[in-house]
């Protein structure tokens, strides 16, 4: 395993955390965890407030993946928790010749996916991926696993490891100190498992994960 931030070119949210925390309730979180219209295209208190494609979001990150892993034509890549398929679309757009697939639990997100990515997306639970062992050269899973209970996180990470023949990259909500923990719990809408970075590393070892990872903290 290696800790490396391949998301450092992704634009950071400018939403004020303290103000958001004062407004969000458990009812908002319950709605967000349905991962339906309200999460993607509803009010900002229940999700994105409109989740739309723009190349500025993923272009730099795709270039980071390409350069770090040496992605070449012919590689098979899987995005677990692909939402509307924007990363899938930009991987295919920026790295010609790769075979990119995406899976997500949300019927709404898949139904409203980027039209050029939609043929390459499918519905699946990350705890039971519908692919053979070693199916992909690179498996990417960003801000998805932590939406499960801890024992389910282990299942999902094992599945990511199982279908990866070469590389994997995970991003999860994590904190290094009390201030990061405080901010994460104020920010959080959907995560059910938020751990210290050392606890996540222990979970990765428990799951037999050998891929790369980084942390999200607002």
pLDDT of 39 over the 80 cut: yes
Contact 85, 113 (CB under 8 A): yes
The C-alpha angle 170, 203, 128, rounded to 5 degrees, equals 65
Q: Which domain holds residue 118?
A: 2-12+53-216
Where does the pLDDT of residue 161 fall: very low under 50, low under 70, confident under 90, or very high at 90 and above?
very high
Q: Evaluate whether residue 43 is within a structural domain.
A: no
Per-residue pLDDT, 98: 98
- Mean pLDDT across 159-175: 98
Q: Any long-range contacts for 20-23 (C-beta under 8 Å, 24+ apart)?
A: 20/45, 20/186, 20/187, 21/186, 21/187
In a domain, 27, yes or no: no
Tell me the CATH number at 96: 3.40.50.150
Cβ neighbours of residue 178 closer than 8 Å, sequence gap 6 or more: none
179 pLDDT band, cuts 50/70/90, is: very high
Residue 35 lies in a domain: no
Average pLDDT over residues 63-86: 98
66: in domain: yes
Other C-beta atoms lying within 10 Å of the C-beta of residue 12: 8
pLDDT, position 184: 95
Tokens of 22: 């004062």
* pLDDT mean over 93-117: 98
The pLDDT > 90 percentage for the chain reads: 94
Does a structural domain hold residue 170?
yes
Q: Please report whether residue 100 resides in a domain.
A: yes
Q: How confident is the model at residue 14 (pLDDT cuts 50, 70, 90)?
A: confident
pLDDT at 20 over 90: no
Query: Is 47 part of any domain?
Result: no
The domain tally of the chain equals: 1
32 in a structural domain: no
Are the C-beta atoms of residues 192 and 31 closer than 8 Å to each other? no
């Amino acid at each position: 395993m290696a800790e490396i931030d391949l998301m450092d070119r992704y634009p950071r949210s400018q939403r004020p955390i303290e103000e958001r925390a004062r407004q969000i309730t458990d009812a908002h979180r319950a709605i967000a965890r349905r991962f339906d219209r309200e999460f993607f295209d509803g009010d900002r208190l229940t999700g994105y407030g409109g989740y739309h494609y723009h190349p500025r979001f993923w272009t730099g990150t795709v270039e980071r993946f390409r350069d770090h892993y040496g992605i070449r034509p012919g590689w098979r890549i899987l995005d677990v928790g692909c939402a509307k398929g924007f990363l899938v679309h930009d991987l295919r757009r920026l790295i010609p010749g790769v075979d990119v697939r995406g899976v997500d639990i949300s019927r709404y997100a898949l139904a409203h996916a980027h039209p050029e990515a939609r043929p390459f997306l499918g519905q699946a639970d990350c705890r039971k991926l519908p692919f053979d062992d070693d199916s992909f050269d690179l498996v990417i899973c960003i801000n998805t696993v932590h939406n499960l209970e801890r024992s389910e996180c282990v299942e999902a990470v094992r599945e990511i490891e199982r279908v990866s023949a070469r590389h994997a990259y995970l991003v999860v909500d994590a904190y290094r100190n009390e201030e990061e923990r405080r901010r994460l719990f104020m920010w959080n809408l959907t995560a059910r498992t938020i751990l210290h970075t050392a606890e996540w590393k222990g979970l990765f070892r428990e799951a037999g994960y050998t891929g790369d990872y980084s942390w999200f903290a607002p």
